[in-house]
Structure 1
């Protein structure tokens, strides 16, 4: 019996998928890369983006046609809005919320018995028993990279975002479990670990007096890094500017294993648009955070998220976003054209920015990003950087990897034994979003 799983959306769904795989394989199923070979096919949906939902419908339409020729069970989970859930009920054999993952074997054995009312009650109680899900041991899809969920849900209610309605309110995972998982991964040779949450820097705030806060969590992981011999980098995503304190930045600067790369979503460079987005921070607050990062961790790279064409965004407001990109000189920006999602507050508002205008603003910001990304990349030339080799590059004869600051690097080598190892690379040339270098030394981490 074989299974296949498709994960859409953010890294949180990818991380959840590792636990889903673990549960399914404990049932005796074996993974297959080919959907057409599977007896059990699942998808982790993402109601946050319309494109992701469109892909769900495309996939399930194809899978249901296959049922005419062979036995096949389909399931769906992930971030699902009630409006999408109602439609999925008629299309999939099994639907479950991630907190109910431990019950998936029972659901599959008697699929089709879930009632819409019972299912809706389960989705209304988003984070009840989420600890049972966290206790499922992941089936990691990489031997050197791992994601660790540290919280679930979000309390921010940005007007463009559906996450509070798909994952519920914030719930923090016990810190002892998180630190223990980091320790276990590092001792087993993992070299890149990312802490995941919808708003990681509000970690612990839902359990004041019972749990530590995010700076202290990073500090404990940093102390662990000092104790262990193995070399590793720890990242986190995504933080919210409202909760980003100087203490977080100070802790990152203090510990070697805490990667000097920060993803700080700005979404817009205009204060009025930020108010409309219900971001609960202004550009001055954001600017102060970036200045602190530059002062305490000058070597850190800076990534961000930006939405163009949000409802009501005029030319002047968009220009403020372009100026912000120029001011902060991001190394990378994930630029999205706004699209309303049912469940989010902004869905009630008229989407008054045309697709052509959104595409043009996306193009302008991409060109602006290239200027600053290439400027930084050019500054890397003739310098040596530590690199985690991730795999074979698109160019024949090359391997590729990421620096600590998550800059893409390729170098001439066909030695696949280097994949998953740290090496030193001297940068020889730079492009818009990547650099090329030559291998200097091979220094494997202590096993």
Structure 2
């Protein structure tokens, strides 16, 4: 007589885990990939660090302020090893990659450090590694872009960042990213298309393409694949025949690598937002040379003029650094004049952040922090006026809004195609009495007023 089959025992979850993600959108993708691997391994995910047995902090150290925020967050979360359920604290990402073995004795509260080249080993890292090394820090160039082909736990159900490359080949003197992320490694287009289709099938309405240098995408592939070609394939593969059905947005471009084919692809494809994110960093030729940026003020002027010729409704976003070593008042005035001339729709700014491991640290004539801050304030004051004036042109228009949040009392918040997530303003939409607008849906709203960087609208 055959004995009855044994009832399979349900596998006990390894534990409860909380991941705290800091920094940019590229870091967010890394965090979502790690969460996907951890969930597949059976970990129960929570957003409450006080309830977690394991806490993971995915850090940023692009500038000193970001590194300081990462350190403060680590120390704040470490207290749950005493007052909460935490038995293991793991630190990943750019902070351990930047400071490597030097950081280990400085943070005894941390059980393991995981560099950017080892994020695919997160499941191993959160497990019990008694007697194992406290740091896994391989060369970031050793992490294959194939590691991006994995399930993600999305932060937002309706908008997602789609990483198309990793690393950077630039030599900007103020930037440490090539050392933290390695040389540029573009993902094969078929991998990007597959992930794009999967995200859309999961309900995502907005794909934001990100990399350290998105407009340099594909030049390292054999054969090369232009970004313009990728956009055409992605719009087709994801069914983005109409902008109202899907938005594709390109973030983190570089003025030197943008070409006319890309501009024309944005103009031709309804699914692609007419949004150009091109950080210029400065507008003085002298400062640009010191920064290692291989373009000129006149070249930038020609580029933005050409974009507006081909895409008349183009939205221009840029970023500027104030207080770079050697920046004079005359240099900074050139930034103000250029911002006044081009009239960017969105402009972000950073006060120069110095560090001993940056090439720019060796440049003479450091600018006092208070001077750099004062210039930052003047630039953003100018941009506030420009943005308010430019937003006025939207009053009376009907614009498509992606609805993201129900604020109560019939008020909803969302964004137009000219507003990127997290970095730009938002659009507040008042619904008709008794009507609830669909979260994650597109609504044609009438713009009634502006509020500095934000728009105020009514749903029909």
Q: Do residues 95 (structure 1) and 109 (structure 2) align?
A: no
Helix, strand or coil for the counterpart of 1:379?
Answer: helix
How far is 1:282 from its partner? Answer: 1.0
Q: Do residues 217 (structure 1) and 264 (structure 2) align?
A: no
Match of 1:412 among 405, 426, 430: 430
2:451 aligned residue: 431
How far apart, CA to CA, are the structure 2 residues paired with 1:77 and 1:323?
A: 41
Unaligned 5+ segments in structure 2 are 1-14, 420-424
Choose 352-361 or 395-404, whichever is displaced more.
Answer: 395-404
Choose 304-313 or 74-83, whichever is displaced more.
Answer: 74-83
How far is 1:111 from its partner? Answer: 2.8
The 8 Å contact of residues 2 and 39 in structure 1, kept in 2 or not, is answered as yes
Match of 1:119 among 133, 136, 140: 136
Q: Do residues 72 (structure 1) and 90 (structure 2) align?
A: no
1:110 aligned residue: 128
How far is 1:128 from its partner? Answer: 1.6
How far apart, CA to CA, are the structure 1 residues paired with 2:236 and 2:128?
A: 47
The 8 Å contact of residues 164 and 192 in structure 2, kept in 1 or not, is answered as yes
How far is 1:364 from its partner? Answer: 0.9
Aligned length: 434
Distance of aligned partners of 1:172 and 1:342 in 2 relative to their CA distance in 1, 3 Å threshold? farther
Q: Do residues 304 (structure 1) and 318 (structure 2) align?
A: yes
Q: Do residues 52 (structure 1) and 70 (structure 2) align?
A: no
Distance of aligned partners of 1:415 and 1:339 in 2 relative to their CA distance in 1, 3 Å threshold? farther
How far apart, CA to CA, are the structure 2 residues paired with 1:37 and 1:188?
A: 29
How far apart, CA to CA, are the structure 2 residues paired with 1:294 and 1:66?
A: 53
The 8 Å contact of residues 96 and 103 in structure 2, kept in 1 or not, is answered as no
The 8 Å contact of residues 96 and 115 in structure 2, kept in 1 or not, is answered as no
How far is 1:35 from its partner? Answer: 1.6
Distance of aligned partners of 1:404 and 1:16 in 2 relative to their CA distance in 1, 3 Å threshold? same
Distance of aligned partners of 1:387 and 1:357 in 2 relative to their CA distance in 1, 3 Å threshold? same
The one-character-per-residue Cα deviations of 1:28-69 (angstroms, maximum 9, x if unpaired) are: 222222221111111111111222211222222233343245
The one-character-per-residue Cα deviations of 1:128-167 (angstroms, maximum 9, x if unpaired) are: 2423421221111211111111100101120001101111
Q: Do residues 313 (structure 1) and 340 (structure 2) align?
A: no
How far apart, CA to CA, are the structure 2 residues paired with 1:415 and 1:170?
A: 48
RCO comparison, higher one (Cα < 8 Å, 6+): 1
1:263 aligned residue: 277
Q: Do residues 155 (structure 1) and 156 (structure 2) align?
A: no
How far apart, CA to CA, are the structure 1 residues paired with 2:147 and 2:295?
A: 33
How far apart, CA to CA, are the structure 2 residues paired with 1:14 and 1:23?
A: 14
The one-character-per-residue Cα deviations of 1:388-444 (angstroms, maximum 9, x if unpaired) are: 011134x8642111111115210223855521110011011112101101102xxxx
The one-character-per-residue Cα deviations of 1:318-346 (angstroms, maximum 9, x if unpaired) are: 00001111111111111100111343211
Rg larger for = 2
Distance of aligned partners of 1:80 and 1:61 in 2 relative to their CA distance in 1, 3 Å threshold? closer
